[in-house]
Structure 1
Amino acid sequence: MTSFNSVNILVVDDHQNMRQIWQTILKGFGVSKVLQASDAASALEVLRDYSVDIAVVDVVMPDILGTELITMIRRADDSPNKMIPIIVCTADTRRSCIYQLINAGADEILTKPVRPDAIWQRLISVINHRRQFVKTPTYFGPDRRRVDDPSYKGRDRRESALI
């Protein structure tokens, strides 16, 4: 059993109702503190001002897309926490959208409507089974490969890129 009583989570969503749903679910899991932001600028401010362990980011927001926010968190020189676990929430399940989120640096992806059991699984994943980070000229974030095949010797082997 994992305890979330010392975990601080930032929920970034432009809809107050969704932020409230997230807060209710996360508090039900025993999360100690749920911080909220309604846009990317507020999210970056919260990340600078508070100790945040996990960020939950909606994809569609009025100022910038969640993919852009993730990219800023992962790659900006002044990013307050480049390695924060990021769980993304989206209603768009097209393969192209999922690939954009993965390539932006999302750790985990949840599809709407969110279910508490799926949220629990993603939280456990980013806390107990965090993938190594990869740094290349065009990408910084969790290893996009979920399966480690030590026998693979191809051109895209990332041994030197793992952090």
Structure 2
Amino acid sequence: MMSGALSRRRLLEITLAAQSGALAAAHQHARTASHAAKPPLRSLSAAQAREIEAIASRIIPSGATPGAREAGVIYFIDRALATFDRARRPAYREGLALAGRLRRRMFPGSRSIAALSETEQDRLVAALENTPFFELVREHTILGFLGDPAYGGNAGGAGWKLIGFEP
């Protein structure tokens, strides 16, 4: 073997070391992005946001692909209610009150929609399905999942990636 040439073993060691470094860097980037500071709520209280996020997360659930929660749909909804859709704030207040009454009737002793199991949340959402409140949350959830991330939702382009859209 020539003294200046790399052996296959050495080439493999270098390649594996480089790939390990790249993998570690990618993992760190993903971890940092997932722990990035969330924008402050401008219209909703933290409790209201948790309840709405629980409903939105049953409309576009998480699983093998990101759902409403991962896409930050709640931040789109909050921003919409603080700006261009401010007139719909009362509909959210009234809808959350309705959802709370329904939750207490269906699941006595429960503390919140967010604290229900996914199965219980699905049952509650099914009971809300024919209400104007559900229609509003569904509309905002879809807009927040597929809209431009500049408006607060679709974090990391999660919705766009899911449908194969490349801006």
Shorter chain as denominator, the TM-score bin is under 0.3
The alignment's TM-score, normalised by the length of structure 2, stands at 0.25
The alignment's TM-score, normalised by the length of structure 1, stands at 0.25
Structure having the larger proportion of residues in strand: 1
- Determine which structure has more spread, i.e. the larger CA radius of gyration: 2
The structure showing larger relative contact order (alpha-carbon pairs under 8 Å, at least 6 residues apart) is 2
